[in-house]
Amino acid sequence: MAKLNVNGVVREFAAEDDTPLLWVLREQLGLTGTKYGCGVAQCGACTVHIDGIPTRSCVRPLSSVGSSEKIITIEGLAPGGSHPVQKAWAALDVPQCGFCQSGMIMAAAALLKSKPKPTDADIDEAMTNICRCGTYNRIRAAIKVVANGGDTKTAGLSIRHADGSTT
């Protein structure tokens, strides 16, 4: 059996070397937060971190992932959705359909780790994931909220939530 270090745990699985990492994560390991979108590394729904680098798992064959590399999926990003990016996403009601959001969150978390105060150009360069619902303004705002210490008033959005509060 082959082994991968996923979310801090060494996991065993059986798959062919040319199997995309995405399918082992979803089908063998039951980590379904990472989504299949396009299968050609364009949409980013399958984004995971491998040794801290955002990686499109739909095109990454198992043969190219070393057993010592650390893979983090959306499930392993933070316990209970407590990562600052996840909190900002929820506070600003970023998701609409939600399909792309795990990949978006993984890309944003990697960006903010490498550049804690990203410029608009940094965000444009790093956030190449596709959102079919077009929530790009909220995505950018959520990244800026995290960069500004979590203050949602810096988002520049006026969102009325179901409970009547505004952000």
Chain segment 112-155, per-residue pLDDT in tens: 999 999 999 999 999 999 999 999 999 999 999 999 998 887 77
CATH number of 2-77: 3.10.20.30
> Cα separation of 73 and 103, whole Å?
9
**pTM greater than 0.75:** yes
Confidence of residue 167 (pLDDT cuts 50, 70, 90): low
| Close Cβ partners of 147 (under 8 Å, ≥ 6 residues apart) | 112, 116, 117, 118
In the chain, domain spans: 2-77, 79-155
CATH for 79-155, options being 3.40.50.300, 3.90.550.10, 1.10.150.120, 3.40.50.150: 1.10.150.120
